[in-house]
Amino acid sequence: KGKQKKTRKYATMKRMLSLRDQRLKEKDRLKPKKKEKKDPSTLKEREVPQHPSCLFFQYNTQLGPPYHILVDTNFINFSIKAKLDLVQSMMDCLYAKCIPCITDCVMAEIEKLGQKYRVALRIAKDPRFERLPCTHKGTYADDCLVQRVTQHKCYIVATVDRDLKRRIRKIPGVPIMYISNHRYNIERMPDDYGAPRF
């Protein structure tokens, strides 16, 4: 008689008892969960983000000259391509003093682009530009810019990135600067921002 071949089962595990099994002793057994009945008379609480105090409906009262403009990486590159001087073109667009702001992660992104974009790096290190330190990890600038303008609505965002523009449009009171027809244009900027307020 030949031996019957048994196929070996790999990684077999012993069956474990469920903690609610009837064969377990009462004290070891897991108690069945009781559903808490909700009292219909209690008021429901919802987490609603607080409306920013700087907004008067859609009008952002914190925006005014001198304008602080958060510059994205590709905005500098496209400005070079279009042969536009950043500060001068911003002033031509807004008819007021503009302070371009560069965050640490935008600077890191430009540095990562290497030798090909050394002109962009030289522009970004211009003393007229304001440097904003970043506290987050990594060098992903889009999230950083979105978070910054959500918290502080005193900036205009300068970008040509379609996805970033879409994200910024969802935040009320934050204008977007973009490049078209070889000049800077502004999106969602009420007419009387530059006018003196009495």
Q: Is the pLDDT of residue 37 over 80?
A: no
CATH code, domain with 87: 3.40.50.1010
Between the alpha carbon of residue 143 and those of residues 70, 123, 140, 147, 186, the distances in Å are 13, 23, 6, 6, 21
Secondary structure element (H or E) that encloses residue 55, with its range: strand 55-56
Residue 101, domain member (yes or no): yes
| Measured distance CA(68)–CA(98) in Å, rounded | 6
Residue 114 lies in a domain: yes
Q: What is the DSSP string of 156-187?
A: EEE---HHHHHHHHTSTT--EEEEETTEEEEE
Q: What is the mean pLDDT of residues 75-82?
A: 93
Q: Considering the domain boundaries, does residue 173 fall inside one? A: yes
pLDDT of residue 21: 74
Task: Give domain status of residue 167, yes or no.
Answer: yes
Domain count for the chain: 1
Q: Which of 158, 152, 194 is closest to 173 using CA atoms?
A: 152
Tell whether the model's pLDDT for residue 85 goes beyond 50: yes
At 2-25, the pLDDT tens digits run: 666 666 666 666 677 677 777 777
Per-residue pLDDT band for 152 (boundaries 50, 70, 90) equals confident
- What integer pLDDT is reported at residue 194 of this predicted model? 46
Containing structural domain, residue 111: 68-187
Indicate the average pLDDT of the chain: 81
User: What is the pLDDT, as a whole number, of residue 153?
Assistant: 87
Q: Which residue has the tokens 């600038």?
A: 141
Distance CA 25, CA 99 (A): 74
